[in-house]
Amino acid sequence: MRVLLVEDDPELASAVRDGLRNEHIDTVLATSFPSGYERAISDTYDVVVLDILLPGGTGFDLCAAVRQHGLTTPILMLTARDTVDDRVRGLNVGADDYLTKPFAFQELVARIRALARRRPILAPERYTVTDLTVDLVSRTVTRGTTAITLTAKEFALLECFITNLNRVIGGVG
């Protein structure tokens, strides 16, 4: 699974990124409105986790902008803004979920996984390149009729490569 985390607080961003990586969730970090927008529209993620108070604009505006651009990736707002009006505004501009700070890390992970489970409706379940078939739902790989056994890390890498065909995959962070 691949997550875009748009968070400008370096300490929180680092803690969340490291925690998600420990949960085997590949996490790409953006620290401002412009970098968040660029990464969100130029790459593929299973979930976007978005703060509201960002350098260069608000998370509300960023959410609306990427939705207007056509992004269908699930978005989770993660913010200290906790009024009903803020939550409603976030959901109305296109967020799929809203979690307030402070938060329990295990709840964040559960919400990310729940949002990612809905994503297959929008993306193919199976990819085939020549005679290699990768099934993202059953997490199986075959070449022709031969099953290939992969570790979790190997499968995560293959999933990243197969879902980003013909794209340059850059470094994380």
CATH topology of domain 2-120: Rossmann fold (3.40.50)
Q: Which CATH architecture describes the domain 124-162?
A: Orthogonal Bundle (1.10)
Domain ranges across the chain: 2-120, 124-162
pLDDT 10s digits, 72-100: 899 999 999 989 999 999 999 999 999 99
HEC sequence for the chain: CEEEEECCCHHHHHHHHHHHHHCCCEEEEECCHHHHHHHHHHCCCCEEEECCEECCEEHHHHHHHHHHHCCCCCEEEEECCCCHHHHHHHHHCCCCEEEECCCCHHHHHHHHHHHHHHHHHCCCCEEEECCEEEECCCCEEEECCEEECCCHHHHHHHHHHHCCCCCCCCCCC
pLDDT 10s digits, 39-70: 998 888 999 999 999 999 999 999 999 999 88
With bands split at pLDDT 50, 70 and 90, how would you rate the model's confidence at 173? Answer: very low
